[in-house]
């Protein structure tokens, strides 16, 4: 992986950080963006640099198409060609569908779905020209089931949209040597949920336990590898059997 560059949205903490550190350890330079986690982003940069790799962290709202394009251009100008785009950004809020506001509704789509499109569109031309590239986006386990979700409705619909967008981009970019895939986590202990809540959820997971960051990292690592060169348009359920 020497001299390769990965761009990770939402890379300051959680799954994004774990993926960034794994790829840095394997020899990639890392560019990440964040919206609010400035302290965590600085910590992530320091950890990447300990691996001897270049690191760039920038506050950027990639739900703004102009900002997304500018960030992609900056990374390729300063670091070189982006070989891997990992779309990890994906905030959510819990609110009953009948109490959701127009602003909250729009934000869920902007940050979870539109941002994936804008970043992919920004980097696709260069990937096409090089006849090489990997795009991995995060959806959520059971988004492909299209069941009722009264408390996270907009987020859920947006994540279902990520799966459709993934397959569409995969078909459009396959002739150009670029693969596009999705990873759909269920319950992963990323440090954001209380331990007691996770322990209670484990009883509802067929595998009997909560996933770890290393599980998400392994899925991304595989999809970026040469072994996955013929895999595109797929969705990896990362849930221990929950949501299928």
Please give the positions annotated as active site.
156
Alpha helix (H) ranges present in 131-205?
153-173, 195-202
Identify the DSSP state of 111: I
The two tokens of residue 186 are 């269920």
Characterise 208 by phi-psi region: left (phi > 0), alpha (psi -120 to 50), beta (else): left
Residue 47 vs residues 3, 25, 51, 222: alpha-carbon distances, Å:
18, 10, 7, 22
Cα–Cα distance, 198 to 189 (Å, whole number): 8
């Amino acid at each position: 992986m020497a001299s390769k560059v990965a761009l990770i949205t939402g890379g300051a903490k959680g799954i994004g950080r774990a993926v960034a550190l794994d790829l840095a350890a394997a020899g990639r330079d890392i560019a990440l963006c964040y919206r609010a986690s400035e302290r965590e982003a600085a910590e992530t940069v320091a950890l990447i640099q300990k691996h001897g790799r270049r690191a760039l962290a920038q506050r950027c709202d990639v739900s703004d198409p102009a900002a997304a394009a500018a960030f992609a251009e900056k990374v390729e100008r300063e670091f070189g060609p982006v070989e891997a785009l990992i779309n990890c950004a994906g905030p959510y809020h819990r609110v009953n569908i009948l109490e959701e506001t127009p602003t909250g509704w729009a934000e869920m789509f902007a940050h979870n779905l539109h941002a994936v499109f804008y970043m992919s569109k920004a980097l696709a031309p260069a990937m096409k020209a090089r006849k090489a590239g990997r795009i991995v986006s995060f959806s959520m386990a059971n988004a492909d089931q299209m069941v009722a979700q009264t408390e996270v409705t907009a987020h859920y619909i947006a994540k279902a949209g990520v799966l459709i967008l993934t397959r569409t981009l995969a078909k459009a970019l396959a002739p150009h040597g670029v693969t596009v895939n999705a990873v759909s986590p269920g319950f992963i202990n990323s440090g954001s949920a209380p331990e007691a809540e996770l322990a209670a959820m484990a009883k509802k997971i067929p595998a009997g336990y909560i996933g770890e960051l290393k599980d998400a990292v392994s899925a991304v690592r595989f999809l970026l590898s040469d072994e996955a060169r013929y895999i595109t348009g797929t969705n990896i359920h990362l849930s221990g059997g929950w949501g299928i």
